[in-house]
Copies of this chain bind each other. A is one copy, B any other.
Amino acid sequence: MTGFLTVVGLGPGDEGFLTPQAGAAIAASEDFFGYVPYLDRLQLAPNQRRHASDNREELSRAEAALALAAGGGKVCVVSGGDPGVFAMAAAICEAMEAGPPEWRAIEFSVVPGVTAMLAVAARVGAPLGHDFCTISLSDNLKPWAVIEARLVAAASAGFVMAFYNPVSRARPHQLDRAFDLLRAHLPETVPVIFGRAAGRRDEAIRTVPLRDAAASMADMATCIIVGSAQTRQIERAGKAALVYSPRFWKET
């Protein structure tokens, strides 16, 4: 008997984001792999086991999960947000392709979730309402020159941008380099949204013009949305301004 491996997206944090489909997948599983804070969000039964690992151990976590499923385990790998966006689904595919043939025979499925940029966008209006790009700013896995080329291409073509993994202790200065680069290609008034823990109790959302955007406003868990030249703000008395990217394109 072969087991199964399901990769489940928990959404951005609050239980209010967990879909019924994700809840059902968790209930049907026995072994849970993931980064500690994601596993901590699960309420497991006595017959359900945790296999916690650090957030830099994605490939070894994927291999351990595949090996257990190939041996008949009912395995669930959890991701925050959506598992397909800079998260565990790709790591498992990588491990499966490089691994023994029996790993390909596993019943494998992915349960999508609300990814961070959607939750951050929802809190400020509709900044992703027009064409946008989603970019990981981490150069652990790709050269920084590739990231810079993509930032310039996206800004020049009029895409709104969402950044994941914007900064870490190992690379504190790259986000400022990214903002400097963008200031050469976008109006300095373009709104930049720093979204942390969107929808959770400790939520912190802040919008500043590109001219003032700085790496010190972000940490590893921040999702950043940079508007395009078309992105607009609506001032509201006694309320935070709304930020939105119109569906209509206008000559600028």
Contact = CB atoms under 8 A, between A and B. Distances in A.
A133 B108 contact: no
B24 A16 contact: yes
24 contacts: A19-B19, A82-B114, A83-B122, A84-B121, A85-B128, A87-B129, A89-B121, A89-B129, A90-B130, A93-B126, A93-B129, A96-B242, A97-B232, A105-B239, A110-B122, A113-B114, A132-B133, A133-B134, A141-B247, A142-B249, A143-B249, A150-B157, A150-B158, A154-B157
A181 interface: no
Interface residues on A, range: 35 or more
Contacts of A114: 19, 82, 112-114
Given A82-B118, A248-B141, A93 B132 contact: no
A112 B105 contact: no
Interface in A6-25: 9, 11, 14-21, 24
B129 A131 contact: no
Given A16-B20, A19-B16, A242 B108 contact: yes
Residue with the greatest number of chain B CB neighbours at <10 A, chosen from A113, A121, A131 = A131
Interface in A139-163: 141-143, 146, 149-150, 153-154, 156-159
Nearest to A131: B135
A58 to B, nearest CB: 8
A105 B239 CA distance: 8
